[in-house]
Amino acid sequence: MSYDPDNIFAKILRGEIPCHKVYEDDATLAFMDVMPQVDGHTLVIPKAPSRNLLDADPAALGPLMVSVQKVANAVRKAFAAEGILIKQFNEPAAGQTVFHLHVHILPRSAGSELRPHSGKMADHALLARHAEMIRSALTA
């Protein structure tokens, strides 16, 4: 399978579709998942095109993981989480639905439940507040 430059994350990177941006550097972009499984569910993607981890340029993986760590620490702080769940899927059989490499960051606390990734979009005002909370934690 090859990379599709018209996937939704590629369109976000080109500015064709808006997102609730949390963090950006030369190599990566982090933004709120619009169908969050928990409050604070954030995605981090490389700017370099790749379908998933299996075909990514190895040079893109280091900067991606640095951003994942940075954003995960901010998400943990912003949501007073006891832990952080990091998820990454490769190909449909493993649960991948958007074919641009991406890493999920989900704040977790004991006893909290994950909501299904239902296809129902969250309230954009709520996502904007959550993005601001994470951005504030990044600069604190």
> Which 8-state DSSP code applies to residue 138?
H
Contact in structure between 60 and 50 (CB atoms under 8 Å) = yes
Tokens 């912003």 sit at which residue? Answer: 78
CA 113: distance to chain centroid? 19
By annotation, the residues acting in catalysis are 102
Name 28's Cβ contacts closer than 8 Å, sequence gap at least 6. 44, 45, 46, 47, 63, 64, 67
